[in-house]
Amino acid sequence: MARWLLILRKVLGGGGAFPHELWWLLEFPGRRWLQSPEVLSGRLGLSPDSRVLEIGPGSGFFSVAIARRITEGRLTLLDIQPEFLERARRRLEKAGFHRVACIAADASATPLPDASFDVAVMVHVLGEVGDRAACLREVVRVLKPGGILSVTERRADPDFIPRADLNRMASAAGLQGAECWGQRWAYTANFTKAAPN
């Protein structure tokens, strides 16, 4: 009973990772209309050989569209909840994608090697991370110089991060603003990791 009370609290008020028990909420049919995986993946600047880190993929709603664009690359899914990773892995395999790694870890302290990804993606995730500054520093560490961090936020999410706040956090972590799509209440912002001098 206590677990379900925590889940209800999370859904209503935010704070912490979205509970894997409610995966089906991430799959409602209208979500594609609100937030197209194909449109989002088109904003990532992917090439066929890109190495992509998707942080907090949930049930893999965006993962298949990303995998379709990196036919010679590699997709790594990182989530604190192994149950979500398993669901996303099955979804990708069903769609015919097998060049996927699934890692259960906290986004603030990953086991990933330095400078190993071209793109990192976070959709409605950063606000759920306990130590956002540490998470962004970790993303900078694992991105290659010139790599992109793409963050998507929507006001309906109880953990929504306003764009101005995200810009400040990204700058403090050493990322530079690049492109942005959407409005204040629903946006995707891409940041780049500066190349060394």
pLDDT score of 194: 86
> Which amino acid is present at 88?
A
Q: pLDDT class for 35, splitting at 50, 70, 90? A: confident
Q: What are phi and psi of 119, to 5 degrees?
A: -140, 140
Quick check: 25 pLDDT over 60?
A: no
pLDDT score of 5: 43
Q: What is the pTM of this model?
A: 0.85
- Residue spans of alpha helices (H) in the chain: 2-13, 31-34, 37-42, 63-69, 82-94, 132-142, 163-172
Quick check: 8 pLDDT over 80?
A: no
Count other Cβ atoms within 10 Å, centred on residue 74.
Answer: 17
The answer to which of 10-14, 52-56, 68-72, 161-165 has the lowest mean pLDDT is 10-14
Q: What CATH number is attached to the domain comprising 173?
A: 3.40.50.150
> Which has the closest alpha carbon to 88: 140, 14, 27?
27
**Residues of the domain holding 169:** 2-193
pLDDT score of 133: 96
Give the residue with greater pLDDT, 30 vs 172. 172
pLDDT score of 50: 98
pLDDT score of 86: 94
Q: What are phi and psi of 122, to 5 degrees?
A: -135, 115
pLDDT score of 1: 46
Angle between helix 163-172 and 132-142 (nearest 10): 60
Quick check: 197 pLDDT over 80?
A: no
Task: Say how far apart CA 108 and CA 88 lie, in whole Å.
Answer: 21
pLDDT score of 13: 52
How does pLDDT run across 118-156, given as a tens digit for each residue?
999 999 899 888 899 999 999 999 999 999 999 999 887
Q: pLDDT class for 9, splitting at 50, 70, 90? A: very low
Total number of domains in the chain: 1
